[in-house]
């Protein structure tokens, strides 16, 4: 795990500063509020993981940092600042310069993210030349260096390969090389190991951690894999129904989870304490309909500690200790029951 940092609130200016972010998709019969008032800060050189069930708003939050949502069908509110610049206020030309150069992204499925009709090396060369005035030969030399850095075997030959000619693990390495081509300061990773087998997953995670340390990158990392979050992240933010319900240093959050949802999420995975042959614990019920969110805590209908106040009042993130925040009206009762 990376060396823990101090909390952004302690005085250090965050490189990424998300304030009251809301994202509503308006293309369907009903507006869907996928993100509801997210506040998140990331320092330079820090890795923050977003975890939670499918539909919790992780990837929507991540893509907001590049403004990848279709403009005609998306309403965004709040503020998203990266390196002091307001991403939501950028013009189309400013966004084109910002994407890849300041902030870059590793997508979940590189076979879909990479252009199938061009060799992968040509795509990296094009990206470099779009942002930097360098000759073709220099851009190609940098692409080759990137392939070597991400440990793609026979890199000279693989520069000429098309995406479909590569294995899943090799495509993901090529995707990482493309994301790093223009030396970004912020790297976004959306489930970068989901489609890979376990051995390749570990290799990719180790590679990402090494590159992050060597290049001093800030990283926001979306994953369902809590083990991957612990391995990669300095801090973890737990999302549910478009909101962050708990956030803290990775080790603190894993060892001392405070929100009932965080504890249920951690308890629903296979671990050493689980007796062989026993049933895996699950979280009863289903996430709420994002087109009709309840007025109170969105987890109330699935929470054993909820009362009428939870169903009518929206809890705020409150600090428990430096860097550790929790959003729960019944925190004391749930902690007493867990003791």
| Residue 312 located in a structural domain | no
To which residue do tokens 């007025």 refer? 295
Nearest CA to 226 out of 85, 53, 5 is that of 53
* Domain identity same for 87 and 147: no
Domain boundary among 124, 159, 183: 183
Work out whether strand 235-240 and strand 47-51 pair parallel, antiparallel, or are unpaired: parallel
Last residue of a domain, one of 168, 183, 198: 183
Instruction: For residue 106, report the phi and psi dihedrals to the nearest 5 degrees.
Output: -100, 115
How many domains, the chain?
2
Do 132 and 239 sit in the same domain of this protein?
no
Same domain, 21 and 151: no
Q: For 311-327, what is each residue's pLDDT tens digit?
A: 999 999 999 988 999 99
Q: How far apart are CA 65 and CA 68, in angstroms?
A: 8
Are residues 44 and 189 located together in one domain of the fold?
yes
CA distance 227 to 10: 28
pLDDT one digit per residue (tens) for the chain, 339 residues: 444 344 444 557 899 999 999 999 998 889 999 999 999 999 999 999 999 999 999 999 999 999 999 999 999 999 999 999 999 999 999 999 999 999 999 998 888 899 999 999 999 999 999 999 999 999 999 999 999 999 999 999 999 999 999 999 999 999 999 999 999 999 999 998 877 888 888 899 899 999 999 999 999 999 988 888 988 999 999 999 999 999 999 999 999 999 999 999 998 876 655 556 677 778 888 999 999 999 999 999 999 899 999 999 999 999 998 899 999 998 876 665 665
The verdict on 96 and 16 lying in the same domain is yes
Structural domain for 155, as ranges: 116-183
Distance in angstroms (rounded) separating the CA atoms of residues 59 and 289? 17
Spatial contact of 48 and 233, defined as CB atoms under 8 Å apart? yes
> Is 20 in the same domain as 98?
yes
In this structure, the answer to whether residues 94 and 122 fall within a common structural domain is no
* CATH, residue 197: 3.40.50.300
**Selection from 236, 292, 316, 243 nearest residue 37 by Cα:** 243
CB 232 within 8 A of CB 49: yes
**30 and 176 both lie in a single domain:** no
If asked whether residues 61 and 199 sit together in one domain, one would say yes
Answer whether residue 245 is part of any domain: yes
Q: Work out the angle between the directed axes of helices 260-267 and 331-338 (0-180°, nearest 10).
A: 40
Output the DSSP codes for 98-121.
HBTTTEEEE-S-HHHHS-TTS-HH
């Amino acid at each position: 795990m990376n060396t823990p940092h101090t909390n952004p609130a302690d005085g250090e200016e965050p490189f990424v500063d998300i304030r009251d972010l809301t994202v509503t998709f308006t293309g369907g019969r009903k507006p869907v509020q996928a993100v509801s008032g997210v506040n998140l800060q990331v320092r330079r050189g820090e890795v923050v993981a977003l975890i939670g069930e499918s539909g919790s708003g992780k990837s929507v939050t991540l893509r907001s940092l590049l403004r990848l949502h279709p403009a005609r069908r998306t309403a965004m509110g709040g503020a998203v600042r990266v390196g002091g610049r307001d991403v939501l206020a950028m013009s189309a030309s400013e966004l084109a310069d910002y994407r890849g150069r300041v902030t870059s992204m590793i997508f979940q499925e590189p076979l879909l993210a990479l252009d199938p009709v061009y060799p992968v090396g040509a795509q990296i060369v094009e990206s470099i030349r779009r942002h930097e005035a360098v000759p073709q030969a220099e851009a190609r030399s940098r692409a080759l260096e990137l392939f070597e850095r991400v440990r793609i075997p026979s890199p000279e030959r693989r520069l000429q390969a098309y995406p479909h000619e590569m294995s899943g693990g090799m495509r993901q390495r090529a995707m990482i090389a493309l994301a790093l081509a223009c030396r970004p300061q912020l790297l976004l990773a959306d489930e970068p190991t989901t489609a890979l087998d376990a051995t390749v997953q570990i290799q990719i995670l180790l590679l990402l951690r090494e590159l992050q340390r060597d290049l001093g990158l800030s990283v926001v990392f979306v994953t369902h894999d809590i083990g991957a979050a612990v391995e990669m992240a300095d801090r973890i933010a737990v999302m549910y129904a478009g909101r962050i319900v708990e956030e803290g240093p990775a080790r603190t959050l894993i060892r001392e989870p405070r929100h009932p949802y965080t504890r249920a999420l951690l308890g629903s995975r296979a671990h050493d304490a689980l007796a062989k042959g026993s049933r895996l614990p699950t979280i009863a019920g289903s996430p709420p309909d994002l087109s009709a969110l309840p007025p109170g805590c969105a987890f109330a209908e699935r929470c054993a500690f909820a009362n009428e106040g939870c169903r009518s009042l929206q809890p705020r993130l409150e600090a428990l200790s430096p860097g550790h925040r929790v959003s729960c009206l019944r925190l004391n009762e749930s902690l007493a029951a867990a003791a």
